[in-house]
Structure formats: C-alpha cells, structure tokens
Amino acid sequence: MIGVGLGCVWFGWASTTFSQPVATGPTTTPTLLDFAPVSYFQDNCARCHGSYGQAYESGMAARYTDQELREKVDTMASGPAQAPLAGAALDAVLEYQKSLNASVPFVHLASVGEGATPTISGEVTPGAKVVVTVGDTRADATVDGHTWKVVWKESVDVKNVRVDVK
C-alpha cells in the first residue's frame, strides 16, 4: 500500500491518516485543498483526453520525469484548456493524471465539515470504493460519479480522519 501525490493517489487498498486538513503528497504535510482535480479534468481536459482520461495512451506518463510531466500539464492547462493552474491545484491535477495513466484509484479529500453532523467529502476515480475512518469508527462513503461523501454522526477532528480507497 503506497500513498502518492498531492491529490491522494493510492495504489490498491491504501489509507492515510491526516495530521492536518487534507490533500497529501509523498513528502508534504497534508492540508485541505479547496480544489476539485477530477472536476477540473472533466471540464477542461476531457474534450481531448476523453472522459476520465479514456483517450490516454497507455504508459504515457512513464516516458517523462515528474518535472517534464508537470511542465506538460501546466502548458496544456494554460494553452488548449484555457484554464491555467498553479501550486497545489496544478499538483493535484498532475497526480490525478498520473493515476489515470497507471490505472490506479485516485482519492481527494476536499472538505471536513464542522458541527454536530459534519459532511466529509471529496473526489474519487469513478467505480472506486471509499471508506472513511475517524478514530475507531468506519463508514462507507456514498460515491456518485466522481464525488464521494459521508455524513458523520458527531463532530470530527480532521487530525483523526483516514480515507481508504480501492
């Protein structure tokens, strides 16, 4: 089980515990990312690369270093997509595209609500299963297309949130 990337890309069943609000990278402290990388792709990239990347050539990302791939995504976002990206948003879209190329599930935690019954939500590869754990309590998230959510029955400290995807 390996966690990779800013947008929480996971290989197989995997999980992460978020020590702060969330969007994880291999060497970064998780932080919430108020950006929707899968929706961005669908809205700005799918017209050329296919819905959920179906038109990607197998192994395409493996031909490039991470920096070269980042530059290609940046160029495409600013050019044909006409929807420039920067910083964490660019990183999240890059990780989503790498997951598409590797045919592995992608999960992104976008929101951990407040209050007595907070909603925890994000985006995921369509067809994937998302399980959220807070402390010792687990719940299956409802997945609708490429979004997921779960309504928790008590207040949540984001430091105790773990998201599993398969």
Predicted confidence band of residue 22 (pLDDT cuts 50, 70, 90): very low
1-5, 43-47, 128-132, 142-146, range with the lowest pLDDT: 1-5
- Is the pLDDT reported for residue 166 higher than 70? yes
Distance of alpha carbon 139 from its chain centroid, rounded?
Answer: 19
User: In the chain, where do the E strands start and end?
Assistant: 2-4, 9-11, 14-17, 107-112, 119-124, 130-134, 137-140, 142-144, 147-151, 161-165
Predicted confidence band of residue 31 (pLDDT cuts 50, 70, 90): low
Task: Give CA–CA dist 18/142, Å, rounded.
Answer: 20
3-state secondary structure of 28: strand
Distance of alpha carbon 126 from its chain centroid, rounded?
Answer: 12
- Mean pLDDT across 34-58: 91
pLDDT digits (tens, 9 = 90+) for 99-143: 888 888 999 888 888 888 999 999 999 999 999 998 899 999 999
3-state secondary structure of 79: coil
Task: Give CA–CA dist 11/3, Å, rounded.
Answer: 7
CATH number listed for the domain at residues 107-165: 2.60.40.10
